[in-house]
Structure 1
């Protein structure tokens, strides 16, 4: 076989982060009475998503801390409607982080694909997610037992796409670069990072991206394609 080691991103590659997060946000929105402050849940969530994306870029660049990221992204939507209530934002945040890792929804065919691949390859997680959440997500989704090791940016202090985290992942798993494949849905984190260190990469194109600065080794529209590919 060409590859021996498969490195998977977790969020929106295996565990359905976007769907699980939206469900949790909506639950917390009504639990905390935010419907009295915003035109709709969509209004609230659009404000959150825009600022959240900006803050993750800042966090990835080392401009803000993890604590600042989590504080600012929950407070921003409230501030945007003139309610700078940090106590409410903290309560919302605490409840959100308590509930979201209990969600079970996976990406289509995730179990089927992992069941097949685990019998032929060494499987690892390589994620930018937080340590206190990722393990719980994997257990909730019933996929933790497929992976031999979980490598997280939160432990290393370096996020994908920086080369250091890919080199660390290879070293920590005793994997050879030429025998390894990165699989993920994020172009900027997974594909750019793997390409930068010379690792083959499979782009799970869940966003419908049509143009690429470089050609990925493989493109997937469905995880199930990995069974035929590998």
Structure 2
């Protein structure tokens, strides 16, 4: 197929975002001495409420800093669950520290990258903040595999914007035909890759059914399949 480089998404492709976030949400509560069982609340309920607010607030990430957004998420969650505390600022700081050092990877990531790096140039295109994405890759010990790591905050464009893909191609000095992009999101990864005519490999980690209009070049349910496809 003649690819010179394979570019990966980060969250829920190489790193398991949900588990990293869960560690940070609950770890920050523990670090600040807030114990859910004393309030008759289980972890699942707290996380569900937190994520509802978090998804809403993070749409304002161009207006607020990560720390402010996390404070807003904790503040609204604790208020709804009637948990009173003066630790909102400390919760935000603890969350950010734990999250940026969380290194829960998807299965077989190290093996896959080790094998692919022998024959392909590797890179990452990820939405998010530089202060989060790079330390998390370092904590996971995978940053050294990648020639380029393109983070949306750093260049001012986020997936599925074609600009972030063009930026990566420019840094690699490659054409779209020479690149394969691997990601888990049809909304951000597939849509973005299609706009710039980059072949897309859909990491269908939850075995979701696709509508007929969505036709990735490749579909895998586990990353290890990349080794058999491209080695």
User: What TM-score, normalized to structure 2?
Assistant: 0.89
Corresponding residue of 2:182 = 183
Corresponding residue of 1:219 = 219
Point out the more displaced range, 211-220 or 138-147.
211-220
Q: List alignment gaps of at least 5 residues for structure 1.
A: none
Superposed CA RMSD? 2.0
Corresponding residue of 2:55 = 53
Partner of 1:102: helix, strand, or coil?
coil
Deviation at 1:101, TM superposition (A): 2.3
Q: List alignment gaps of at least 5 residues for structure 2.
A: none
| Alpha-carbon distance in structure 2 between the residues aligned to 1:156 and 1:192 | 19
Q: Does the CA contact (< 8 Å) of 2:6 and 2:182 recur in 1?
A: yes
| Alpha-carbon distance in structure 2 between the residues aligned to 1:195 and 1:50 | 30
1:40-119 superposed matches below 5 A:
40-56=42-58, 58-59=59-60, 64-67=63-66, 69-82=69-82, 88-119=87-118
Partner of 2:87: helix, strand, or coil?
helix
The aligned length equals 226
Partner of 1:151: helix, strand, or coil?
strand
Point out the more displaced range, 173-182 or 15-24.
15-24
| Alpha-carbon distance in structure 1 between the residues aligned to 2:217 and 2:60 | 28
| Alpha-carbon distance in structure 2 between the residues aligned to 1:29 and 1:170 | 41
Point out the more displaced range, 193-202 or 99-108.
99-108
User: What TM-score, normalized to structure 1?
Assistant: 0.89
Deviation at 1:206, TM superposition (A): 1.6
Distance 1:167 1:207, change over 3 A: same
Distance 1:151 1:228, change over 3 A: same
